[in-house]
Chain A
Amino acid sequence: MLTIAGTEFSSRLFLGTGKFSSSAVMAKAIEASACQMVTVALRRVDLQNPDDDIMKALSQRAYTFLPNTSGARNADEAIRLARLARAASGSSWLKLEVTPDPRTLLPDPIETLRATEVLVKEGFIVLPYMNADPILALRLQDAGAAAVMPLGSPIGTNQGILTDFQIEIIIEQARVPVVVDAGIGAPSHAAYAMEMGADAVLVNTAISVAGDPVAMAAAFAKAVEAGRTAFEAGMGQRSKQARASSPESGTLSSHLEFLS
C-alpha cells in the first residue's frame, strides 16, 4: 500500500483532469482508472459561463484532490495559488509546479525549493514537480516535501521516460515516495517507471487525448499494476552475454550437430 503524508492509496496511478473533451468523459475515465488521487488546476471563473464547474463532475466519488500551481512562474506566484487552492478545497494537498518557460514547461529548481520551504512551514502537504535531479530530490525531501515528482520528459510531450538513469538514483536515495510525473505517453512507459520502483505515476495527456480515454485509463491501470507487481517480484539482471533459457546438457549432438 502506498502511503503519502499518512494517507493510504491502493491505486498507484494518479490522474490529471486537463484536456478531456467533456466532464462526463473525464468522470468515466477516472472511474475506469480506479485512481484515488486526481489533480486539478485553479483559474479565474469564466464570467460568461459561470455554470462551467468541474467539481460537479468530480464530486460523485471521494478522491484525494491534488490542486496544482500550474501557471506560476516563480515561488511567490506559486505560494499565492497554493493559498487559494487551500481556501477552495479545504485541504492542504498541493502539487507544487513552478514553470517559468512556457516553451519547455520545465520546473525552476531554485524557486520550487524556495516555495516548498515556505509552504511546508504553512502546513501544506507539498508534492513538488521537479526535474529528475537526484540532488534536488534530496534537498526537497529535507525541506519537508511529502513526495517528489520527477519528470519523465516535458509536460504533455508523450515522450516517455527519458530520465531513467536519474530516476533510478532518486528512487534509490528517497525516503519519501517518488511519483513519476509528466511525459508518460503510453501504458508501457508507466509500467517501465513502476518496474524501476517508482511509488506511483501521474498521467494526464496520454489518457485525456486518447481516441478512447476511458479504455486508455483502464489500460494504464493494468500497466501500473503489472509494473508494480514486477518490481515486487524482483526483476532479473540485464546482461550483454546470452544465456540459454533451455537446458544446455542432453542435446542430441551426435545426431543433430547444429543443436550443440
Chain B
Amino acid sequence: MNITLNGTQKVFPSAHTLSQLLADLQLPPETIVVELNTLIIQPDCYSETTLSEGDTVEIIRFVGGG
C-alpha cells in the first residue's frame, strides 16, 4: 500500500492503522497532530483509522517560531 507521508511516498502493509503507523515511527501521539487527506484525526480515533492506498498523511508538531 502506497501512502504519501509528510510529502514523501512510503510503502506500508495493508490494513495499517494510524496507531500502528505512529508506533512504527516511534512518535508519542500526545506531541503531534495527524491530518489524513486534509482532515484532522482526533487522537482517540487513531486505533480505528485504517490507512488506504493513495492516502496523504501529514504529521505535524510545534517548533520554535516567532
Contacts and interface: CB of A to CB of B under 8 A. Distances in A.
A68 B65 CA distance: 8
Interface string A32-46: 000000011111110
Nearest to A45: B59
Contacts, number: 90
Given A44-B7, A47-B6, A53-B31, A84 B64 contact: no
Question: Per DSSP, are chain A's interface residues mostly helix, strand or loop, or mixed?
Answer: mixed
A50 B25 contact: yes
Contact of B38 (A50, A80, A155): A80
A45 B25 CA distance: 10
Q: How big is chain A's contact interface, by range?
A: 35 or more
B60 A45 contact: yes
Given A44-B6, A45-B32, A47-B25, A16 B65 contact: yes
A54 B63 CA distance: 6
Interface in A166-188: 182
Contacts of B15: none
Contact of A41 (B6, B27, B35, B65): B65
B65 A45 contact: no
A20 B65 contact: no
A156 B65 CA distance: 11
A213 interface: no
A45 B66 contact: no
22 contacts: A18-B64, A18-B65, A18-B66, A40-B64, A41-B63, A41-B65, A41-B66, A42-B61, A43-B61, A43-B63, A44-B58, A45-B6, A45-B59, A47-B6, A47-B8, A54-B62, A84-B33, A84-B60, A156-B66, A204-B65, A205-B66, A208-B64
Interface of A: 16-20, 26, 39-45, 47, 50, 53-55, 65, 67-68, 70, 80, 83-84, 87-89, 155-156, 182, 202, 204-205, 208
Given A41-B65, A41-B66, A44-B6, 20 more contacts: A18-B65, A19-B66, A40-B62, A40-B63, A41-B64, A42-B33, A42-B60, A43-B63, A44-B58, A45-B6, A45-B25, A50-B25, A50-B26, A54-B64, A55-B62, A84-B33, A88-B32, A88-B33, A88-B60, A89-B62
